[in-house]
Chains A and B, each alone.
Chain A
Amino acid sequence: MKRLLRTREIWLGAAVAAIIIATELRAPGFGSLRNLMEVFNNTSILMILALGQMAVILTRSIDLSMASNLALSGMLVALTNAAYPGIPVPVLMLMATGFGLVLGAFNGALVWRLGIPAIVVTLGTLTIFRGLIFVIAGGQWVNADQMTTDFVQYTRIPVLGLPLLSWYAIAIAVGFFVMMTRTSIGRAIYAIGVNPTASVYAGIDVGRTKFLAFCISGALSGFCGYLWVSRYVIGSVEVANGYELTVVAACVIGGISIAGGVGSVAGALLGALFLGVINSALPVINISPFWQMAISGAAIIFAVVLNGRTNKSRGRLILKSAETVK
């Protein structure tokens, strides 16, 4: 029980609950199941992205290209949908995921094969992917009237009261939990984050595991590309601009150590939910939405300070991610 109280997931969950209750007191109705489901639905994409980012951060890398990957994959399926309305939406989903996977694999290959630090690679691909959106779309937007009903509905159809979008997030979270805790790949991802050198001696291919982590984050970004375009019914160059750092922020708040090897699926989900709850609580208690950015910034700083106090292992290692463990 004492150990349980010390885990940050509990505290984070309590913080999320506290914000919900405090908001409910100021604005009754915020805590209703209906509204909370709405908040959850609004945060689904961030949760999925945070999981992908978690896999990468655990391996002592970082993927700054997620938002650009999302926007590019989203634009691709939006254009495909506009040009060939006959293609069924599940095929488009697969297409977005597959395309995102390829982009992620490109990142991963550069990190794995050439040993370039992940932060540099993804900084580069962040701008490249973003630029490619403009090229493939010719600078055009894809608007609501160009998308088929199915394309838009596949994130909205309610199943057991929850929209499909939320179910995707739940399914991916469950899948991720199983992968991270019950499979050898999940074990390997944690292991190389904790101690790359020891992992090599344990027979884990460090480079290949990082590559796989990037493939995972890429595939999830691609899938979210479809979700985003369908959810907000817009495909443009500006989609999710700057969102990569929000995703990292969700992970940091969720207690995933930037030094690698420390973090849990529940943490990533709660970190995302924390940001999501704040974002939806501010307007209902009549705080200008312009406060949002400063508050999430303060939350990140607070979370990092808290992190630094609980586990005193100084997490400065992100810049050392390319340790020569060949």
Chain B
Amino acid sequence: MNDQSIAAPAGRKIPDRLDSPAKAAVFSWPSLLLAVAVGIFILNSFASPYFLSPWSLSDATFNFTEKGLIALAMALLIISGEIDLSVAAIIALASTAMGLALQFGVDTPGLVAIGVLTGVLCGMFNGFLVTRLGLPSIVVTIGTMSFFRGISYIVLGDQAFKGYPDSFDFFGQGYVFWVVSFEFAFFLVCALVYYVVLHRTNFGRQIFVIGNNPVAARFSGVRVERVKFILFCLTGLMSGLAAVALTSRLASTRPSIAFAWELEVVTIVVLGGVSILGGSGTIQGVVIAAFIMGLVTFGLGLLNVPGIVMSIFIGALLIGVIALPILISRLRQRMAK
């Protein structure tokens, strides 16, 4: 990366030719993240002898797959300039709906359908409030966050739903091939789908356009409200799927399930290089960021670091990874003078 591309905001220098694609790829955000991930991986394997075994690595994936699933859809939503803070509450509500259906003797396929459907309905509700009534998504979803989880509390109080059928265990505890869990495989498939949707389709292009300039997008014939509505539904859908996986893994439903996950999901997305201001980001980055979160928490877990202390690392990682490039480019500018 040369000085010209860095100095873009300050001066209006336009380079004679762009960086070569290879150079751009090497210095891109996902590559930086990948380097961080590899670094953490190596540190982990030095720090704990138990880290480098296929089974413990497989266990590590459980730390982030459910959050990662939601992060994929959340990335699209944030790129479009909106945000959904109610995702964890949707998990709680979808899980409660499944637990409730269980009491009426609904079997596995029905449970999954109900969980996913609840997620989609919640997403539609958010989407309706934001796009039809033109309300700011951050406040709307703070409201629906209390609302959805509140319904779970009304239904469950301090109780829990248990006794899910054995066939339901597969989604959170099953393995498709050797150490590859169903959840992890599903996450990879979803990541691929989201990659194609965001980076290879018209729809994905429209998301970027909306995020960069909703007014211009409207004038160029993009149906802004409809795209946003679909994105809210997608986020609800992924939360519903995450609810199925998480409920199956824990084999129980409590109203406090997935508490405060919304902030971790947003952290993954932002760490993945998606601009919180909307308009830019990649799925590759988000996937790697999900891995980083999983590796950090799992690695520190092996070292007996309590979960609450890990949050310091994650917070510092979030701020550090964003602040560092800014600081470096400042430093370069100062050196150049």
Q: Which 8 A-B pairs have the closest CB atoms?
A: A294-B150, A297-B146, A297-B147, A300-B143, A131-B312, A293-B150, A127-B315, A128-B315
Cβ contacts A110-153/B at 8 Å (1 or 0 each): 10001111011101111110111111000100000000000000
**Are B153 and A293 within 8 A (Cβ)?**
yes
**Are A135 and B309 within 8 A (Cβ)?**
yes
Provide the bound-state CA to CA distance between A315 and B82, in Å: 12
**Are B306 and A124 within 8 A (Cβ)?**
no
**Are B154 and A127 within 8 A (Cβ)?**
no
Stretch of A34-42, A43-51, A206-214, A244-252 at the chain-chain interface: A244-252
Provide the bound-state CA to CA distance between A241 and B309, in Å: 15
CB contacts under 8 Å to A, within B206-262, are 255, 259-260
**Cβ-defined partner of B323 (8 Å) among A62, A114, A295, A324:** A114
Provide the bound-state CA to CA distance between A120 and B81, in Å: 14
**Are A292 and B318 within 8 A (Cβ)?**
no
**Cβ-defined partner of B326 (8 Å) among A114, A123, A134:** A114
Q: 20 A-B residue contacts at CB 8 Å?
A: A62-B138, A116-B326, A120-B276, A120-B322, A123-B263, A124-B315, A128-B311, A131-B309, A290-B153, A290-B158, A291-B154, A293-B146, A294-B146, A297-B147, A299-B143, A308-B135, A314-B136, A315-B136, A316-B82, A319-B82
Which A residue's beta carbon lies closest to that of B314? A127
Report if A301-B140 is in contact (Cβ < 8 Å); known contacts: A110-B323, A131-B315, A293-B153. Answer: yes
Interface residues in chain B, defined as those with a beta carbon under 8 Å from any beta carbon in chain A: 9, 81-83, 85, 129, 133-140, 142-151, 153-154, 156-158, 255, 259-260, 263, 266-267, 270, 276-278, 306, 308-316, 318-319, 322-323, 326-327
Provide the bound-state CA to CA distance between A301 and B133, in Å: 11
Which A residue's beta carbon lies closest to that of B211? A319
**Are B135 and A242 within 8 A (Cβ)?**
no
Query: Which of A120, A139, A242, A299 has the most chain B CB atoms inside 10 A of its CB?
Result: A120
A296 contacts chain B at the CB level, 8 A cutoff: yes
**Cβ-defined partner of B129 (8 Å) among A128, A245, A301:** A301
Q: How far is the CB of B218 from chain A (nearest CB, A)?
A: 13
Q: How far is the CB of A325 from chain B (nearest CB, A)?
A: 12
16 new A-B pairs (CB below 8 Å) besides A304-B139, A314-B136?
A: A119-B138, A123-B263, A123-B315, A123-B318, A124-B316, A127-B312, A127-B314, A127-B315, A139-B306, A242-B260, A245-B85, A245-B142, A294-B149, A296-B146, A297-B148, A300-B142
A277 contacts chain B at the CB level, 8 A cutoff: no
Report if A116-B319 is in contact (Cβ < 8 Å); known contacts: A252-B142, A298-B147, A304-B139. Answer: yes
Provide the bound-state CA to CA distance between A256 and B196, in Å: 40
Provide the bound-state CA to CA distance between A110 and B319, in Å: 9
Report if A292-B150 is in contact (Cβ < 8 Å); known contacts: A131-B311, A252-B139. Answer: yes
Provide the bound-state CA to CA distance between A298 and B278, in Å: 28
Contacts of B129 in A (CB 8 A): 301, 304-305
Give the number of A-B contacts (CB < 8 Å).
174
**Are B315 and A319 within 8 A (Cβ)?**
no
Provide the bound-state CA to CA distance between A107 and B144, in Å: 27
**Are A123 and B146 within 8 A (Cβ)?**
no
A187 contacts chain B at the CB level, 8 A cutoff: no
Provide the bound-state CA to CA distance between A160 and B115, in Å: 55
Provide the bound-state CA to CA distance between A294 and B19, in Å: 53
**Are A128 and B276 within 8 A (Cβ)?**
no
**Are A319 and B133 within 8 A (Cβ)?**
no
Provide the bound-state CA to CA distance between A249 and B16, in Å: 51
Which A residue's beta carbon lies closest to that of B321? A124
Contacts of B278 in A (CB 8 A): 319
Provide the bound-state CA to CA distance between A307 and B319, in Å: 33
Provide the bound-state CA to CA distance between A304 and B142, in Å: 10
A89 contacts chain B at the CB level, 8 A cutoff: no
Which A residue's beta carbon lies closest to that of B310? A131
Which A residue's beta carbon lies closest to that of B323? A114
**Are A127 and B311 within 8 A (Cβ)?**
yes
**Are A120 and B83 within 8 A (Cβ)?**
no
Q: How far is the CB of B314 from chain A (nearest CB, A)?
A: 6
Contacts of B312 in A (CB 8 A): 127-128, 131-132, 135
Which A residue's beta carbon lies closest to that of B125? A301
**Are A294 and B306 within 8 A (Cβ)?**
no
Provide the bound-state CA to CA distance between A317 and B139, in Å: 11
**Are B150 and A258 within 8 A (Cβ)?**
no
